[in-house]
Amino acid sequence: MAFAPLLLPAIGGFLTSASGIAAVATAGIGAVTAISQGNYQAAVARNNADAATAQGNRESAAAQANAMRLSQENAGRVGALTASQSASGLDVGSRSFGQARALETRIGNLEVRDTARAGADAANANFREASNFRAEATNAKRQGMLGAAGSAIGLASSFAGRSQGKSLVGGSKLKKRFG
Tens-binned pLDDT, residue by residue, of the chain (179 aa): 454 555 555 555 555 566 667 777 777 787 788 888 888 888 999 999 999 999 999 999 999 999 999 999 999 999 998 888 888 887 888 888 889 999 999 999 999 999 999 999 999 999 999 999 999 999 988 888 888 888 778 777 766 655 555 544 555 545 554 54
Residue 168 lies in a domain: no
**Structure confidence at residue 90 (pLDDT):** 79
* DSSP element (H, E) containing 167: strand 166-167
Backbone phi, psi, residue 71, to 5°: -65, -40
Instruction: Please indicate, yes or no, if residue 167 is contained in any of the structural domains.
Output: no
Q: What is the pLDDT of residue 26?
A: 77
Q: Residue 172: helix, strand or coil by DSSP?
A: strand
User: Which has the closest alpha carbon to 61: 128, 129, 123?
Assistant: 123
What is the pLDDT at residue 1?
47
Please compute, for residue 148, the number of CA atoms within 13 A of its CA located in the half-sphere on the CB side: 15
pLDDT score at 168: 47
Please report whether residue 90 resides in a domain: yes
Within a domain: 15: no
Which residues, in sequence order, are bridge partners of residue 171? Answer: 167
Tally of domains in the chain: 1
Q: Which domain holds residue 56?
A: 21-160
Round to whole Å and give the CA distance between 109 and 103.
10
Specify the pLDDT at position 36: 84
Q: Is residue 136 part of a domain?
A: yes
Kindly state whether residue 169 falls inside one of the protein's structural domains.
no
Instruction: Spell out the alpha helix ranges (H) of the chain.
Output: 4-16, 18-87, 95-164
**Rounded Cα distance, 102 and 150, in Å:** 70
In this prediction, residue 116 carries a pLDDT of: 93
The answer to whether residue 172 sits within a structural domain is no
Q: Is 147 a domain residue?
A: yes
Rounded CA separation 39/150 (Å): 16
pLDDT at 85 (0 to 100): 85
| Residues sharing a CB contact under 8 Å with residue 3, sequence separation 6 or more, in sequence order | none
